[in-house]
């Protein structure tokens, strides 16, 4: 945990020996010893020993192992505020208190954060889409097939905005709410001729709108007519197929 700045001890030979003193000097630790035959000089250490002995005497009738008693005492001691500093040793050492069973009686910070986030969403009027378990939805398909949206069903919610969905019989996906559409809402707002549905079936087949097909046919006809008119004006025979724009391939000159 690092080197201390100061060490206070009695005059035991293990502390006053040359090897230990050399170690303290090399690491820049200041060593203070108590007066001979006066242990009260090191009052903090003696007070801790007194507290420890009182705790062990109070738990004498407890049938738990000795190591468990020591661990329980150290947890309570390190998590209790000191009379001089006003903070617990754990707070001064790690910047936080140790979690114990008493924390169950305190307000839940996580719930407070969730409530705060929910109130923020309501104040800013942010509407988050939610889906229920078992709801019929359309899931985004990234497998490169013709259908970009696959009919599926919500299995569970794994996060605030993520869901596990079932596609088919043995296929399970995880999708964000931005990758999921409500099947009923989407079918109600879409054009009836754009979506082909079978009665009593959950499969949706997306087809090209007739307006888009007609637009593509008109565009091709107009292109062919313009090409034919261009050949007639120039006196050249009419081409059977439209002209192709040929150009040299672009190569990388090394």
Is 167 inside a domain boundary? no
Strands 30-33, 6-9: pairing is: parallel
Any domain includes 65 = yes
Q: Is residue 114 part of a domain?
A: no
Pairing outcome for strands 6-9 and 162-167: unpaired
Measured distance CA(190)–CA(140) in Å, rounded: 17
In tens digits, what is the pLDDT along the chain, a chain of 254 residues?
A: 789 999 988 888 999 999 999 999 999 999 988 888 777 777 888 888 999 999 999 998 888 999 999 999 999 999 999 888 899 999 998 998 888 888 888 777 777 888 887 777 666 555 667 888 989 999 988 887 777 888 899 999 988 889 999 988 788 999 999 899 988 877 776 654 444 343 334 444 444 344 434 434 444 445 445 545 555 555 555 556 666 777 777 776 65
Q: Is residue 63 part of a domain?
A: yes
232 contacts 238 by C-beta, under 8 angstroms: yes
Residues 151, 138 contacting (CB under 8 angstroms) = yes
Residue 186 lies in a domain: no
Structural domain of residue 71, as residue ranges? 6-80
What is the 8-class DSSP label of residue 84? T
Cα separation of the two ends of the chain:
60
Decide: helix, strand or coil at residue 242: coil
Cα distance between residue 141 and residue 118, in whole Å: 31
Number of independent structural domains in the chain: 1
Q: Residue 78 and residue 71: Cα distance in Å, rounded?
A: 11
Name, in order, each residue with C-beta under 8 angstroms of 115's C-beta and a sequence gap of 6 or more.
Answer: none
Q: Is residue 53 part of a domain?
A: yes
What values do phi and psi take at 152, rounded to 5?
Answer: -150, -175
- Domain containing residue 76: CATH number: 3.30.420.10
pTM of the model: 0.39
62 domain residue, yes or no: yes
Give a yes or no: residue 16 inside a domain: yes
């Amino acid at each position: 945990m690092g080197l201390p700045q100061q060490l206070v001890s009695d005059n035991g030979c293990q502390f006053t020996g040359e090897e230990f003193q050399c170690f303290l000097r090399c690491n820049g630790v200041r060593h203070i010893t108590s007066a001979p035959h006066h242990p009260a000089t090191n009052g903090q250490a003696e007070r801790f020993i007194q507290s420890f002995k009182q705790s062990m005497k109070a738990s004498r009738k407890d049938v738990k192992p000795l190591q468990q008693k020591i661990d329980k005492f150290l947890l309570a001691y390190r998590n209790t505020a000191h009379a001089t500093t006003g903070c617990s040793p754990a707070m001064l050492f790690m910047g936080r208190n140790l979690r114990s069973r008493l924390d169950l009686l305190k307000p839940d910070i996580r719930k407070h954060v969730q409530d705060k986030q929910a109130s923020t969403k309501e104040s800013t009027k942010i509407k988050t889409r939610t889906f229920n378990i078992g709801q019929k939805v359309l899931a985004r398909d990234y497998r490169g097939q013709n259908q970009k949206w696959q009919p599926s069903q919500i299995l569970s919610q794994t996060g605030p905005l993520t869901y596990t969905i079932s596609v088919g019989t043995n296929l399970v996906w995880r999708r964000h709410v931005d990758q999921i559409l409500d099947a009923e809402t989407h079918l109600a707002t879409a054009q009836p001729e754009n979506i082909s549905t079978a009665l009593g079936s959950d499969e949706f087949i997306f087809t090209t709108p007739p307006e888009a097909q007609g637009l593509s046919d008109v565009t091709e006809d107009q292109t062919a007519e313009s090409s034919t008119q261009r050949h007639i004006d120039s006196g050249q025979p009419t081409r059977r197929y439209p002209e192709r724009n040929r150009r040299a391939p672009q190569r990388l000159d090394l």
